[in-house]
Structure 1
Amino acid sequence: MDHIFVVQQRLIPDLIEKMQRRFNVLSMIQHEQPIGRRTLAERLNQTERVLRSDVDSLKSEHLIEIHPKGMTITVEGEEVLSVLARHMEIYNDLSALGSEITKLTGISRIIVVKGDADESPETQVHLGVEAGRCLQSLLSPNTTVTVTGGSSTASMASHLASVPFDVTFTPARGGLGEDMIHQANFIVAKMAEYTGGRYEALYVPDQVSEQTYQNLIQEPAIHSVLDQIKSADIVVHGIGNANKMANRRKTDAAVKKLLHEKAAVGEAFGYYFDKKGNIVYKVRTIGLQREDVMTKKHIIAVAGGASKATAIAAYLKIAPEQTVLITDEAVAKQLLKAFAFDNNIN
């Protein structure tokens, strides 16, 4: 993206959305000219009140002309459309949007589904479909997959299909005391059910004291599962909002205060990080550690919803390059803004 474009975006947060709307108005006028305001509003599914503001702006910039028979585009308007076409194509085309952000972030791939998971259950389902499809393509004989808990990873299981070979699913960490269907133990059991594979369970709390941690990892049954987690071929994980994850863990007030003071925005694998991707706090968890993740051949991160955009953007600054992110349109558009700006000021 052009440097001045991303600087303007930071100064005017709704710049892209406003540009998108006016681009659509200008495009429709070009295709349907001459066209009246009421017809234009109907074609764009906008109210005449909202459209009036955009039309007045386009007219004041000499991009359109208004005649008794309707509106027409000017030569200057044609030139503006031509210049903006590529930017708007990337912004509207989900595949192109994912490819553009992939280049900016440096991770392996970003897959974008339509909508906002915060607002639409259908979008949450689509996240699961795409994540399931991605995981299915990576499964091979004797593969071990380790999975964290959460609603995003839980949405994947029912979209997996049976495979004619052995696969093993393990929970990446202990339980958070959350709803059963969002716990890693339950999710890996469902994944095994749908693929015809096998699974291991890890019946320990997610967060423990150092002494308890040292005692538990010596237990043969737990030690065996931890070995499988560490040697897993594929990691599937979510990315959480720092405050929400702290609440889910029933974190004490002193730690919550610390997270606030350190401006933590996101969490993954028990690590809390700020907007720049700096790790500001680590929870002693039983299971997968960040250093284990870095060495995995395949990593699938699943997270969506505009409320997670800041957390996801921060995590991508420290994500291993072999990461594939499955996210939604609402997050992707925020990522495009954030990383385009970062890449142009560095």
Structure 2
Amino acid sequence: MMAEAQERYEILRQIHDNGPVGRHLLAMQTKLSENTVRKHLEKMAESGLLLSRPSGMSLTSKGESLIGPLAPYFQKSPALSDMEKKLQAVLSMERVIVVRGDSDASDAVRNEISQEAAFVLLRIIRDGFVTAVSGGPVIAGIAEALPSLHMKVDVIPARGGFGNRVEYLPNFVASRMAEKLGGCYHIAHIPDGLSPELFLQVKNEIPRLKEIDKLAAKTDILVTGVDEPQDRSKWTDIPPDVRERLVKEKAVGESLGLYADIEGRILYRLYNVGISREDISSIPHVLIAAGGSHKGPAILAMARAGIRGTLVTDEGAGQEIIHMTAGKKSITGGY
């Protein structure tokens, strides 16, 4: 019975992530035979969980409502649970959630990370909360994965503008998340990478930034990603001499404008509006979402630098981190 229930959950999950989808593709994604998939689909359709259209299978509202509650029972295998415990210890995280696969090999796995992080966010957010969000594809995916609600919340960007994709900018992600939650968003029109002097001058002359500063000081939830600064094309906001130093000193991780080496030493910080490193310790809920084996060193570096809380990642990153820390104690316990 449990094996059958696990198979049906996998089918529901794949339709949720990729629907409308056909039976043949479902068989490939779930690694079940087409005959087995067909039988499950018939039973779930009789239960009112699915809709069959020429374009493929999609979930009804009843089917959608089951994904979240069933996840804790069927999403984890014993091997993943063991990995979560190891990562929680070695990274000194409050909690670690690992999804199957490697984001480097499949965009669907990256979507799973966003979906799981959205579930975490929904479990902790309450009316009156202030939520600060950074940018990037995974964090943008969290906003898209949220259902449409009617909450009295404020959403602010956790940092200024960075990157070249508008849909991944913190301002855009904050507005989209607020739209989904039914709350209010606050935009910070100031780029990352200003000099400390210019940064303070701009902050003092834009009243809206003072409002965001006040909200940032009351942040209840921080949602952030972790990046790896190996791609030098992403360093457009950093002065050339600093870029050379970061390469020389082997920066491997970045989050919230902080660049760190594998030991967690902060090598450089961008001055940006929103959440600073000093604010993190006073934020009740920190949610970190990042995956892919290539981001393992970055996640490790930023955890050692103090970016800790609840981590949602994938097997690819988890295996890389465990390999890198084999035989070592937790971050707080030393080596």
TM over 0.5: yes
Determine helix, strand or coil for the equivalent of 2:118.
helix
Q: 1:342 aligns with which of 308, 314, 328?
A: 328
What's the TM-score, normalizing by structure 2? 0.72
- Is the CA contact 2:296–2:321 (under 8 Å) kept in the aligned structure 1? yes
Q: Distance in 1 between matches of 2:259 and 2:138?
A: 18
Aligned to 1:257: 244
Aligned to 2:271: 284
Aligned pairs (5 A) from 1:316-327: 316-319=303-306, 323-327=309-313
Aligned to 1:96: 82
Q: 2:121 aligns with which of 135, 140, 145?
A: 135
- Is the CA contact 1:102–1:110 (under 8 Å) kept in the aligned structure 2? yes
Gaps of 5+ in 2: 1-30, 32-75
Determine helix, strand or coil for the equivalent of 1:319.
coil
Aligned to 2:193: 207
- Is the CA contact 1:117–1:305 (under 8 Å) kept in the aligned structure 2? yes
Aligned to 2:59: none
1:333 is displaced (CA, Å) by: 1.0
Q: Distance in 1 between matches of 2:299 and 2:307?
A: 13
The aligned amino acid for 1:300 is: L
Q: Distance in 2 between matches of 1:222 and 1:135?
A: 25
Runs (4+) off by over 4 Å: none
Shift in alpha-carbon separation, 1:131–1:209, aligned structure 2, 3 A: same
Shift in alpha-carbon separation, 1:253–1:320, aligned structure 2, 3 A: closer
The aligned amino acid for 1:182 is: Y
The aligned amino acid for 2:90 is: L
The aligned amino acid for 1:255 is: V
- Is the CA contact 1:153–1:236 (under 8 Å) kept in the aligned structure 2? yes
Could you list the per-position Cα deviations for residues 157-194 of structure 1 after superposition, in whole angstroms to 9, with x for gaps in the alignment?
Answer: 12112444301110011111421110011111111111
* 1:184 corresponds to 2:165: no
Q: Distance in 2 between matches of 1:292 and 1:330?
A: 30
Shift in alpha-carbon separation, 1:281–1:320, aligned structure 2, 3 A: closer
Q: Distance in 1 between matches of 2:186 and 2:154?
A: 8
Q: Distance in 1 between matches of 2:231 and 2:273?
A: 20
Determine helix, strand or coil for the equivalent of 2:286.
strand
Could you list the per-position Cα deviations for residues 208-254 of structure 1 after superposition, in whole angstroms to 9, with x for gaps in the alignment?
Answer: 12232111211211111122123211101011112337724342321
Shift in alpha-carbon separation, 1:209–1:198, aligned structure 2, 3 A: same
- Is the CA contact 1:175–1:206 (under 8 Å) kept in the aligned structure 2? yes
The aligned amino acid for 1:151 is: P
Q: Distance in 2 between matches of 1:138 and 1:91?
A: 24
Aligned pairs (5 A) from 1:305-320: 305-319=292-306
Aligned pairs (5 A) from 1:36-75: none
Shift in alpha-carbon separation, 1:245–1:326, aligned structure 2, 3 A: farther
Shift in alpha-carbon separation, 1:248–1:153, aligned structure 2, 3 A: farther
Q: 2:222 aligns with which of 219, 225, 235?
A: 235
Q: Distance in 2 between matches of 1:245 and 1:141?
A: 41
Could you list the per-position Cα deviations for residues 93-137 of structure 1 after superposition, in whole angstroms to 9, with x for gaps in the alignment?
Answer: 212211222123221011011111122010011011001011111
1:286 is displaced (CA, Å) by: 2.5
Q: 1:106 aligns with which of 75, 87, 92?
A: 92
Q: 2:289 aligns with which of 278, 298, 302?
A: 302
Determine helix, strand or coil for the equivalent of 2:325.
helix
1:299 is displaced (CA, Å) by: 0.1
Shift in alpha-carbon separation, 1:343–1:211, aligned structure 2, 3 A: closer
Larger radius of gyration: 1
Aligned to 2:159: 173
Q: 2:254 aligns with which of 249, 254, 267?
A: 267
1:318 is displaced (CA, Å) by: 2.8
Could you list the per-position Cα deviations for residues 15-54 of structure 1 after superposition, in whole angstroms to 9, with x for gaps in the alignment?
Answer: xxxxxxxxxxxxxxxxxxxxxxxxxxxxxx9xxxxxxxxx
Q: Distance in 1 between matches of 2:189 and 2:157?
A: 10
Q: Distance in 2 between matches of 1:197 and 1:285?
A: 24
Percent of residue pairs identical:
28
1:285 is displaced (CA, Å) by: 2.1
